[in-house]
């Protein structure tokens, strides 16, 4: 049997712990990003988003604020 949330016991974690685990897994993937080269269209889209962010820096919401708002909405 392959690796699954159930076989690793992840399904028994509460939502907050599972979200923390997802963040940790994502960070490990990003650290290995060189193994996943971007296509030309993906690179163009990222360049477009960076340019938009540079042009309108006040139009962003920090990740901590997004998480806090979602947790407040969920009553956590």
Distance CA 30, CA 24 (A): 10
Domain residue ranges of the chain, discontinuous segments joined by +: 1-35, 38-76
Q: Is 30 helix (H, G, I), strand (E, B) or coil?
A: helix
Q: For 29-75, what is each residue's pLDDT tens digit? A: 888 877 778 899 999 999 999 999 999 989 889 999 999 999 999 98
Can you tell me the mean pLDDT for 1-9?
88
Residue 76 pLDDT > 80 = no
The pLDDT-based confidence of 1 (bands split at 50, 70, 90) is low
């Amino acid at each position: 049997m392959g690796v699954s949330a159930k076989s690793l016991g992840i399904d028994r974690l509460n939502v907050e712990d599972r979200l923390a685990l997802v963040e940790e897994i994502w960070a490990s993937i990003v650290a290995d990003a060189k193994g996943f080269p971007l296509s030309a269209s993906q690179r163009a889209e990222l360049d477009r988003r960076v340019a938009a962010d540079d042009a309108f820096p006040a139009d962003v919401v920090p990740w901590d604020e997004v998480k806090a708002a979602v947790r407040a909405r969920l009553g956590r």
